[in-house]
Amino acid sequence: MTPFELFDIDHLLSEEERAIRDVVRDYVERRIKPEVGDWFETGEIPARELARELGELGVLGMHLQGYGCQGTSAVAYGLACLELEAGDSGIRSLVSVQGSLAMYAIHAFGSEEQKQQWLPGMAAGELIGCFGLTEPDFGSNPAGMLTNAKRDGGDWVLNGTKMWITNGNVADVAVVWARTDEGIRGFVVPTDTPGFTANPIHKKMSLRASVTSELVLEDVRLPADAVLPEVVGLRGPLSCLNEARFGIVFGTLGAARDCLQTAIDYSVSREQFDKPIAGFQLTQKKLADVSLELGK
C-alpha cells in the first residue's frame, strides 16, 4: 500500500470523468508545472494565453449547459479543479472565477441577450470575466456593501470599490453587485466602460500566480439592460459562491496530493548521513510499538 491509495477513486468515476481528469492532468504537467515557479516569483501570469488554452481544453464553464459550454457532470468539473490546483491554486482560481462566478451569474440570472453576448466567448477563453462582490470593508459580510447603483433616466449609474478581485485587470466583463433602491442587484459591466478602473494588487504573500485587482467604479453609466433581470437580493451572489465552492473543495485535494508527492520525492532525493532521509522514517513495527506504549 502507498500513501496515494488515499486518492484512488477511479472505481467511483465514469469512463468520461476519468478521461476528462487525465486530459487536465496532462495539461498541468506539460504547461503549468514547468512555468508556475517563475510566475509565482514575478507575480505575473500570461492570463489571456492561458484562458484561450483552458477554453480549448473545455474547462471554462464546463458544468454549464449550452452557449458553447461542455455540460459535464459536477464531478467532472471537480476533478478538473483538483488537477488544476495540483499545479497551482491561482490557475484553479482563474477557472473557478470565470466559470462558477462570472459565467454562472450570467447563465443563471441573465437575460437571453446577455447570455448570447458573453457566454460563448467566455467558454472559449476569448473573453475573461471577473466577479465584483468583496469590498475593502465588507468581505465575509456582503450585506454591508457600499457600492451602489442609482437610476438616472433610463440608465444606471454605479459608484463604489471592490477588492481582491481575481481576473480583475485582465477581464473584458465584470459582474458587479451593487445596492439599489430595490435591493442588491447584479450588473454586467464591460470593462472598457468609462469610469471603470481595475488596479492590479502587487506584493501578495500567496496566490501570486493569479491576477488580483481592485475595481473602482466612478459614475459608471450603464444602460437599463445591463442589470441581471432574474434575481434581486443576496440570493444572487451567494448562489454563485455556492456554485464555486464545489470546485474549490476538490481543488484542496489536488493541492494536498501535490504536497504529499513533493514531500515524498524530497525525502527520497535528499541525503543525510550517506542515505536518503526517507531511510530514517519509523517502520510499521516501530509505529506499532510506540502505539502500544502510548496505550499503557
| 267 confidence band (pLDDT: 50, 70, 90) | confident
| 268 confidence band (pLDDT: 50, 70, 90) | confident
DSSP 282: P
Amino acid found at 205? M
Helix residue ranges, H only, 72-111: 74-87, 89-96, 104-109
Close Cβ partners of 84 (under 8 Å, ≥ 6 residues apart)? 24, 28, 32, 59, 91, 92, 95, 251, 254
Report the chain's mean pLDDT, rounded to a whole number.
Answer: 93
pLDDT in tens, 108-152: 999 999 999 999 999 999 999 999 999 999 888 888 999 999 999
Which one is the CATH code of 3-257: 3.40.50.300, 2.30.130.10, 3.40.640.10, 2.40.110.10? 2.40.110.10
Mean pLDDT of all residues in 100-104: 97
Closest to 125 in 3D by CA, of 152, 150, 155, 94: 94
pLDDT at 293: 56
Distance, in Å, from the CA atom of 158 to the CA atom of 148, rounded to the nearest integer, reads 6
Mean pLDDT of all residues in 184-208: 96
Residue written as grid cell 491554486:
89
Angle at 35 between CA 32 and CA 38, to 5 degrees: 135
Q: Cβ atoms within 10 A of the Cβ of 279, count?
A: 12
| 279 confidence band (pLDDT: 50, 70, 90) | confident
**Which of 26-30, 53-57, 234-238, 261-265 is the least confident region?**
261-265
Can you give the residue ranges of every domain in the chain? 3-257
